[in-house]
Amino acid sequence: MSDITVTKGAPPRFRSATEESPLARWAMIAAAVLGLGILVFAPLIAVFVEALAQGVAASLASLATRDAQEAIKLTLTIAAISVPLNAIFGVAAAWFITKFDFRGKAFLITLIDLPFSVSPVVAGLCIVLMFGTNSLVGGWLVANGYPIVFAMPGIILATMFVTFPFVARELIPVMIEQGRAEEEAALTLGASGWRVFWTVTLPNIRWALLYGVLLCNARAMGEFGAVAVVSGKIRGQTATMPTTIEMLYQEYLSVAAFSLAAVLALLALVTLLLKTALEIRHADQLAAAHRH
Amino acid sequence: MGRPLIHRSPMPGLGLSMGITLTMLSLVVLLPIGALLLKGANYGLAGIWETVNRERVWAALFLSFRLSLFAALFNLVFGVLLAWVLVRYRFPGRRILDAAVDLPFALPTAVAGISLTALYAPNGFFGQLAGEIGWKIAYTQWGIFIALVFVGLPFVTRTVQPVVEEIEREVEEASATLGASRFHTIRHVILPMLTPAALTGFALALARAVGEYGSVIFIAGNIPLVTEIAPLLIIIQLEEFNYDAAAAIGIAMLLISFAMLLVINLIQVWSRRRIGYV
């Protein structure tokens, strides 16, 4: 066996047949990093750079103004009302769709998804036409002292429209996957309907529900197009954070606009952080598409 | 006897869940959309056509659609590449990159709009670089393109990523054993498997871009006939209390979105028939 030569050092590395060459691999990684760097990271960094252009003190002072404070308060109030309402809708719709068999189910799901494919501006327009002073319903409501458009209810409706599918869309696939067996078992054992929901269904869907609420909230606080149409942008009354950012920016108050924008950008970062944490820790209880 | 409308079921809460679902769906989504369609019906087809058939409206609709198409095409290519890199390769910072893909979903559009404008304006970081070779980005159609690429970025990646994860290595190994080069395998084995998901993501990105407002208006410059997008026209009509014209343009845009929704559904039906999953 003297013809076997022993190579010294590390054994030669073979490339697996299902891998690209190292050069192609690193070129693709570089393209991904560069692309995301320019497209995503740069705008994110720019928000904070512009906000702090005149120092932290100037930035904080602009956030302490009355307009900024009112805008933050209004945005928080709107999210606090519209997100729970959409969460209730999402749970009810997911329960109705996954626990019962009926005709037209696919059509109903399409209708629930509809707001995702309607432009936010068109959504706002729809609400103005439905509840504006010129419309039948809106005219009657205004005459009785309940204005919808250019007031808080209109902003809430517009926000709910654009965030409508978030929770339902997250829950439906999860609840389909979990089936009905556990609920049926609980019912057979004599549990009431509400008890089944609170002790069997809710614990199974809680992470998916949280995931949907998280995305719904991020969009609710940041919605601009639909809200711009229905709010009338009255300072201190119906100007939300995004519409206030627009007004400040158009008045060339760059630091004030970007400081408010930075607050929303921080919110977006927190949302992404929580979302990623949920995807890592509770992947098995989220909709299949998020399991990386 | 035909199929019953609702099957009998021992599950509780039928009335309550159906009631909440249908009431809220009607109040928040269906009635407002109905109000738009009703307004259009009162205005009449002739009236709608007269409003839409103006140079400025055609220019805006064509601009919105054309730039959305270009942006979605860019996202189609970059999104597939990104999905592949994020699933197949392990490198430092991969998780951060993965999370960053969703930033355009999470960052409010108005924030993205002013931030992109600050970057690409003639005195901005990228604007200055581009200016040195005489390339103007902000306040031109390039600016709109970049904003639309930003908002559409996550769609293709997020639809393709799960499909890349599902690909069985055996298929690639089989292809390699039969003598195919890696490029040949990717071109003829892997890409066809990704096509339905990629097309779905492409259509979603396109639909989103056509209706996009917040991130575009700051960087667009909004010059009539040149950089004025369709949603902005609706806002302008509303500010002049011209509800009929606003409704007419709104209906035109709604029809475009319905058409795209239909296309998305057809893609999904087609792909389900072809390979059994989306």
Backbone angles phi, psi at B88, to 5 degrees: -90, -30
Tell whether A195 lies on the interface with B, counting CB pairs under 8 A.
no
CA distance A144 to chain B (A): 20
Tell whether A88 lies on the interface with B, counting CB pairs under 8 A.
yes
**Is the residue at A282 inside a domain?**
yes
Q: Compute the average pLDDT of residues B127-153.
A: 94
Give chain A's residues under pLDDT 70: 1-15, 288-292
Q: How far is CA B55 from the centre of its chain?
A: 25
Domain that holds residue A229: 58-290
Kindly state whether residues A215 and A233 are assigned to the same domain. yes
Select from A18, A111, A192 the Cβ nearest to the Cβ of B25: A111
Higher pLDDT, B47 or A201: A201
Q: Measured between beta carbons, which residues in chain A are less than 8 angstroms from residue B13?
A: 95, 99, 193, 197
Chain A residue whose CA is closest to B235: A229
- Contact yes or no for A220/A83 (Cβ under 8 A): yes
The interface predicted TM-score of the complex, written ipTM, equals 0.90
Q: For position B66, what pLDDT does the model report?
A: 94
Q: Measured between beta carbons, which residues in chain B are less than 8 angstroms from residue A229?
A: 234-235, 238
d(C-alpha A200, C-alpha B67), whole Å: 49
- Contact yes or no for B176/A16 (Cβ under 8 A): no
Residues 21-40 of A with CB under 8 A from B: 21, 25, 28-29, 31-33, 35-36, 38-40
Kindly state whether residues A94 and A36 are assigned to the same domain. no
Chain A residue whose CA is closest to B278: A289
What is the DSSP annotation of B34-85?
Answer: HHHHHHHHHHHHHHHHHHHSSHHHHHHHHHHHHHHHHHHHHHHHHHHHHHHH
d(C-alpha A36, C-alpha B207), whole Å: 22
Q: Measured between beta carbons, which residues in chain B are less than 8 angstroms from residue A47?
A: 111, 115
Select from B89, B100, B177 the Cβ nearest to the Cβ of A36: B100
Kindly state whether residues A106 and A208 are assigned to the same domain. yes
Select from A17, A130, A187 the Cβ nearest to the Cβ of B31: A130
pLDDT in tens, B14-27: 999 999 999 999 99
CA distance A13 to chain B (A): 17
pLDDT in tens, B154-178: 999 999 999 998 888 888 888 888 8
Q: Measured between beta carbons, which residues in chain A are less than 8 angstroms from residue B86?
A: 32, 292
Query: Mind listing the domains of chain B with CATH numbers?
Result: 64-244+254-275 (1.10.3720.10)
Kindly state whether residues A36 and A75 are assigned to the same domain. no
**Is the residue at A36 inside a domain?**
yes
User: CB-side exposure of B109: number of CA atoms within 13 Å?
Assistant: 29
In the listed set A35, A51, A67, which residue is the last one of a domain according to the structure?
A51
**Is the residue at A14 inside a domain?**
no
- Contact yes or no for A276/B99 (Cβ under 8 A): yes
**Is the residue at A265 inside a domain?**
yes
User: The CATH number of the domain where A174 resides is what?
Assistant: 1.10.3720.10
Percent of chain B predicted with pLDDT > 70: 97
**Is the residue at A7 inside a domain?**
no
**Is the residue at A128 inside a domain?**
yes
Burial of A173 (0-12, 13-18, 19+ CB in 10 A): middle
Kindly state whether residues A282 and A197 are assigned to the same domain. yes
**Is the residue at A179 inside a domain?**
yes
Tell me how crowded residue A144 is: count the other CB atoms within 10 A of its CB.
8
Is A101 close to B214, i.e. CB distance below 8 A? no
Q: Measured between beta carbons, which residues in chain B are less than 8 angstroms from residue A100?
A: 6-7, 9, 11, 14, 18
Q: For position B5, what pLDDT does the model report?
A: 83
Q: Measured between beta carbons, which residues in chain A are less than 8 angstroms from residue B84?
A: 28
Is B99 close to A120, i.e. CB distance below 8 A? no
d(C-alpha B71, C-alpha A212), whole Å: 27
CA distance B54 to chain A (A): 19
CA distance B217 to chain A (A): 10
Q: Measured between beta carbons, which residues in chain A are less than 8 angstroms from residue B34?
A: 130
Q: For position A115, what pLDDT does the model report?
A: 92
User: Has residue B128 got a pLDDT over 50?
Assistant: yes
**Is the residue at A4 inside a domain?**
no
Q: Measured between beta carbons, which residues in chain A are less than 8 angstroms from residue B102?
A: 272, 275
Burial of A245 (0-12, 13-18, 19+ CB in 10 A): buried
Kindly state whether residues A39 and A74 are assigned to the same domain. no
Residues 6+ apart with CB under 8 A from B8: none
Q: For position B1, what pLDDT does the model report?
A: 46
| Tokens at B156, concatenated | 């293709």
Kindly state whether residues A88 and A224 are assigned to the same domain. yes
Q: Number of folded domains in chain A?
A: 2
Tell whether A251 lies on the interface with B, counting CB pairs under 8 A.
no
Kindly state whether residues A247 and A209 are assigned to the same domain. yes
Select from A33, A111, A249 the Cβ nearest to the Cβ of B218: A249
Q: For position A4, what pLDDT does the model report?
A: 56
Kindly state whether residues A102 and A172 are assigned to the same domain. yes
Chain B residue whose CA is closest to A248: B114
Kindly state whether residues A185 and A239 are assigned to the same domain. yes
Q: For position A56, what pLDDT does the model report?
A: 93
d(C-alpha B138, C-alpha B127), whole Å: 7
Kindly state whether residues A240 and A198 are assigned to the same domain. yes
Kindly state whether residues A208 and A131 are assigned to the same domain. yes
Q: For position A289, what pLDDT does the model report?
A: 59
Q: Measured between beta carbons, which residues in chain A are less than 8 angstroms from residue B265?
A: 110
CA distance B32 to chain A (A): 5
